[in-house]
Structure 1
Amino acid sequence: MESPTSSKSWSIYGRKEITTKYDIQGKIGSGAYSDVYRAHRKSDGCIVALKEIHDYQSAFREIEALQTLQNCPNIVVLHEFFWREDEDAVLVLEYLKTDLASLIREAKKNWNGGISSGEIKRWMIQILHGVDACHRNSIAHRDLKPSNLLISDNGVLKLADFGQARILLEPGFVASAEDLEHDERNAASQGQLSTLQQPEVIIKDSNEQACVNQEQDMLTKEELFRNLVEQKAKAAATEDTDKDSNNPDGDNSCLATCTASEIEDDILKGSDTYEPDEGGDDTYGPLTSCVGTRWFRAPELLYGSTNYGVEVDLWSLGCIFAELFSLEPLFPGTSDIDQLSRIFNVLGNLTEETFPGCSNLPDYNMISFSNIENPVGLEACLPNHSPDEILIVKKLLCFDPASRATAMELLHDKYLSKEPLPVPTSELRIPLTKCDADEGSPGNWFDYRETGSDSDFDEFDGVNVMKTNSGFSVRFD
């Protein structure tokens, strides 16, 4: 465990409002914009995760998404949070010690026969319930992958890491009595009905510190919270961006940003780049295509779309489900160009026939590939799997976002109700701990977060760069 005097941990250890309530036991994870600590809650001995987020936008999005979804059994629980004007936000989350990535790795190494069909179906059902809760509330997670699907000791899977989530519309969903009854039955079957502690906001300015909890007026809390965010937003008005995988967002798509510096500096310095509508989709700024993790990123994002919806999550689900079946990532691209190439080799080229309107994507006319006459198909990627198993993946991995099956549609899919039936949650096999990837192994989990450049042009037989009226185009043969 990390020493309290470590340069990266002094902040949280020195915050008395946190240390008076929690014994911080050490850092257990770190990302581009956050650090996660294991802690012991003094009041009742509960083990929690403290997530210190260093980026105000990521913190705001995660807090708002988790508050909106706080009654959903398959969403990680936010117990409370701390946020001072001059400090990073610290979220107090339920502690879940393993994830689906670790389960897949454990199954590949030690489970003869892999993950059984009954287990896969139960995992799918839980993932779909979590995703459906997000989408019913107009929340796009935008970074679904196995390592963001956490698992409790009793087999309950929960969506986590909402730092890239966006509420695409004002949350207008009102649960019907039938929905609430369904959620209660689902929660009861998983043994997860519990009383949630409402988040605590701590805001400090030069004159006073205010502590707000559920016993006080909700409007007051919202006003204070919004005021804090507005202050931070003003300070960062010139960098109103989405955060992605160590990449600055700018106004460019992933292809335009990542491949540009690898082609020809002189050409690209003078080229025009696509700029999303500054009107944006809401008060959080314009959407960006540089979100999520490459292996699970939808084609429209890889081609620079900034006009997308929750369907980008459905593509990610298709990649996750395929990995549950095969225990291998479906499209482990080494760059955005390689990612597209792998997708096209399996599914065929992206055309107006397969995705009406795709020619209007920002980078569609900038990046082109040779025609693939005989794509290998998903069947070749999932050998020894039934047509029903392959079909459920196909329903998600559609080029046209409008054709992707929704989470609710898949929850009613006949595949999940056929023999072998989903096993009870209590019978799921679970890794004892979260395991790290094997050092040096190809495509390990740490490679999921790209470093911000695409330098694999020499992997292709031919690369043609041509100047155009709008800048340049690249063709891969």
Structure 2
Amino acid sequence: MDPDPSPGPDPPKSWSIHTRREIIARYEILERVGSGAYSDVYRGRRLSDGLAVALKEVHDYQSAFREIEALQILRGSPHVVLLHEYFWREDEDAVLVLEFLRSDLAAVIADASRRPRDGGVAPLRAGEVKRWMLQVLEGVDACHRNSIVHRDLKPGNLLISEEGVLKIADFGQARILLDDGNVAPDYEPESFEERSSEQADILQQPETMEADTTCPEGQEHGAITREAYLREVDEFKAKNPRHEIDKETSIFDGDTSCLATCTTSDIGEDPFKGSYVYGAEEAGEDAQGSLTSCVGTRWFRAPELLYGSTDYGLEVDLWSLGCIFAELLTLEPLFPGISDIDQLSRIFNVLGNLSEEVWPGCTKLPDYRTISFCKIENPIGLESCLPNCSTDEVSLVRRLLCYDPAARATPMELLQDKYFTEEPLPVPISALQVPQSKNSHDEDSAGGWNDYNDMDSDSDFEDFGPLKFTPTSTGFSIQFP
């Protein structure tokens, strides 16, 4: 019998995470709990002390860089998911080791919606709602104080521990804003390995921050450079259609937001993709990683993003908060659009049309003149969407769901709102009801949180009634009834 072969280099990245020797030496990988086009998530156990962890294998450099950078900055924030350590080298996907959180706010909402209502009152007690809101606000406040815009806040990305502590997760779309309002570039001249001493102090795991000692034959040890990284990205893009690798669209990512991991995708195909909302995607990001409008999940996406803006800031998270809080109060999504156009239509039906009167400067949005809606004479108003809610609850949501981003209340302003200091007071975290596991559905999954079986695909124009096409100097305008 031939002798056992000597250990060779690690298998290529197409192989399973189970073959990553530097990982399996420290962790037992128990099961895969989430999977998407750009990341896979596993439940694991740290061998040194038995700690339960989530191992997130990110198949996209850009998303990995963004998430690691944001989580390092936010380390120590009690309402942001904890990054224990990460593994990364030039020829392998990044693997983030995160704290394991088995539930999320989507599960809280789904669980409460299944309980019987008492006289029309939502099953979630006001004190519970307030405590969930406070935790979300404290987490977002930590992000914004550090100039981090999350860009994909939704119930499925608000994870919850068994003790009831809520933590913001999935920073793969997050961006760091600079003092001048621009965004920090995605790619640093040095790699994470070159900054290992600084990160070792932060993550307290210096051995995993260093370059792997096993390199393919003929290749030098050391960090991947900016040039090498960009070259790899170019080569990858040349081999793959752009729609498969453009992370900004959040498309094709499956139901993988469970357990401190990935983004659940905006699966629906928009009939006007490429003509009015997706201009930034078509143009692509520049070398400095400029912002794009195609971020976040549709139901929680701010109007400026739906109109193609690439000049936005922390305020897009505030709109998402308004949608999340409304859903906490009613246990139903506020604007469950089946396409970007339908999303705008639902917003207008509640809040009225977008105009210079309610948002000075809105007519300068990239797609404002490309598509228009008939004037809504009598919008139904937030009060109609929030039945059985108090005046203070409606006011809280209204302060976030403002067309003008500058008018939206900041997390710190809301944390000081009298709503949280008046009876009934927020319950202690220990009194919160936490579901045993994450909700299995998301708003863009088949059926969604609520079963919208009457909704057809985005490409069904009959849902919108007669359309009016008007030629313009740059193409055409589409008017919806």
TM-score of the pair, normalised by structure 1 = 0.80
Equivalent-residue separation in structure 2 for 1:123 and 1:52 (angstroms)? 29
Equivalent-residue separation in structure 1 for 2:395 and 2:379 (angstroms)? 17
Does the residue aligned with 1:259 lie in a helix, a strand or coil? coil
Equivalent-residue separation in structure 1 for 2:164 and 2:351 (angstroms)? 34
Indicate the residue corresponding to 1:373 in structure 2.
377
Alignment partner of 1:147 out of 129, 152, 156: 156
In the alignment, structure 2 segments of 5+ residues that lack a partner are 1-11, 182-201, 254-265
Does the residue aligned with 1:24 lie in a helix, a strand or coil? strand
1:118–1:422 Cα contact (<8 Å) kept: yes
- Aligned pair in 2 of structure 1 residues 232, 407: CA closer, same or farther (>3 Å)? same
Does the residue aligned with 1:472 lie in a helix, a strand or coil? strand
Shift of 1:115: 0.9
Equivalent-residue separation in structure 2 for 1:422 and 1:376 (angstroms)? 30
Does the residue aligned with 2:211 lie in a helix, a strand or coil? strand
Indicate the residue corresponding to 1:161 in structure 2.
170
Does the residue aligned with 1:13 lie in a helix, a strand or coil? helix
2:277–2:308 Cα contact (<8 Å) kept: no
Indicate the residue corresponding to 2:291 in structure 1.
287
Indicate the residue corresponding to 1:341 in structure 2.
345
One-letter amino acid matched to 2:251: N
Indicate the residue corresponding to 1:260 in structure 2.
272
1:19-418 aligned at under 5 Å gives the runs 19-110=24-115, 112=117, 113-169=122-178, 197-198=204-205, 200-204=208-212, 205-206=215-216, 207=219, 224=223, 227=224, 231-237=228-234, 242-246=247-251, 258-260=270-272, 274=279, 284-418=288-422
1:386-434 CA-to-partner distances (Å, cap 9, x unmatched) read 0000000000000000000001100011111111111111111110112
- Aligned pair in 2 of structure 1 residues 437, 242: CA closer, same or farther (>3 Å)? closer
One-letter amino acid matched to 2:272: A
1:278–1:286 Cα contact (<8 Å) kept: no
Alignment partner of 1:474 out of 450, 470, 478: 478
Shift of 1:110: 2.6
One-letter amino acid matched to 2:342: D
- Aligned pair in 2 of structure 1 residues 53, 162: CA closer, same or farther (>3 Å)? same
Equivalent-residue separation in structure 2 for 1:52 and 1:445 (angstroms)? 30
Shift of 1:163: 0.4
Shift of 1:30: 1.6
Equivalent-residue separation in structure 2 for 1:284 and 1:79 (angstroms)? 29
1:138–1:171 Cα contact (<8 Å) kept: no
2:66–2:173 Cα contact (<8 Å) kept: yes
2:34–2:41 Cα contact (<8 Å) kept: yes
Equivalent-residue separation in structure 1 for 2:446 and 2:70 (angstroms)? 35
Shift of 1:438: 9.7
Does the residue aligned with 1:395 lie in a helix, a strand or coil? helix
Equivalent-residue separation in structure 2 for 1:91 and 1:105 (angstroms)? 28
Shift of 1:436: 1.3
1:152-194 CA-to-partner distances (Å, cap 9, x unmatched) read 011100000000000121699xxxxxxxxxxxxxxxxxxxxxx
One-letter amino acid matched to 1:53: V
One-letter amino acid matched to 2:294: C
Equivalent-residue separation in structure 2 for 1:171 and 1:120 (angstroms)? 36
Equivalent-residue separation in structure 2 for 1:459 and 1:303 (angstroms)? 21
- Aligned pair in 2 of structure 1 residues 20, 274: CA closer, same or farther (>3 Å)? closer
Equivalent-residue separation in structure 1 for 2:252 and 2:477 (angstroms)? 22
2:157–2:170 Cα contact (<8 Å) kept: yes
Shift of 1:10: 3.6
2:285–2:292 Cα contact (<8 Å) kept: no
| Residue range with higher mean Cα deviation, 111-120 or 197-206 | 197-206
Equivalent-residue separation in structure 1 for 2:442 and 2:296 (angstroms)? 23
1:366–1:472 Cα contact (<8 Å) kept: yes
Percentage identity across aligned positions?
60
Indicate the residue corresponding to 1:187 in structure 2.
none
Shift of 1:259: 3.2
Equivalent-residue separation in structure 1 for 2:204 and 2:309 (angstroms)? 39
One-letter amino acid matched to 1:203: A
1:348–1:372 Cα contact (<8 Å) kept: yes
| Residue range with higher mean Cα deviation, 381-390 or 162-171 | 162-171
Shift of 1:313: 0.3
One-letter amino acid matched to 1:126: Q
One-letter amino acid matched to 1:31: G
One-letter amino acid matched to 1:153: E
In the alignment, structure 1 segments of 5+ residues that lack a partner are 1-6, 173-194, 211-223, 249-253, 263-267, 448-452
2:104–2:155 Cα contact (<8 Å) kept: yes
1:259-317 CA-to-partner distances (Å, cap 9, x unmatched) read 3369xxxxx7xx99855999979x65111000000000000000000000010000000
Shift of 1:241: 5.4
TM-score of the pair, normalised by structure 2 = 0.79
Does the residue aligned with 1:243 lie in a helix, a strand or coil? helix
One-letter amino acid matched to 2:412: M
Equivalent-residue separation in structure 1 for 2:314 and 2:29 (angstroms)? 36
Does the residue aligned with 1:233 lie in a helix, a strand or coil? helix
One-letter amino acid matched to 1:99: D
CA RMSD of aligned residues (A): 3.2
| Residue range with higher mean Cα deviation, 295-304 or 106-115 | 106-115
Equivalent-residue separation in structure 2 for 1:229 and 1:380 (angstroms)? 53
Equivalent-residue separation in structure 2 for 1:229 and 1:454 (angstroms)? 40
Give the total of aligned pairs.
415
1:357-400 CA-to-partner distances (Å, cap 9, x unmatched) read 11111110001000001000010001111000000000000000
- Aligned pair in 2 of structure 1 residues 261, 295: CA closer, same or farther (>3 Å)? closer
Shift of 1:455: 1.2
1:276–1:287 Cα contact (<8 Å) kept: no
Shift of 1:348: 0.2
Indicate the residue corresponding to 1:13 in structure 2.
18
Equivalent-residue separation in structure 1 for 2:28 and 2:308 (angstroms)? 44
One-letter amino acid matched to 1:379: E
Equivalent-residue separation in structure 1 for 2:76 and 2:288 (angstroms)? 24
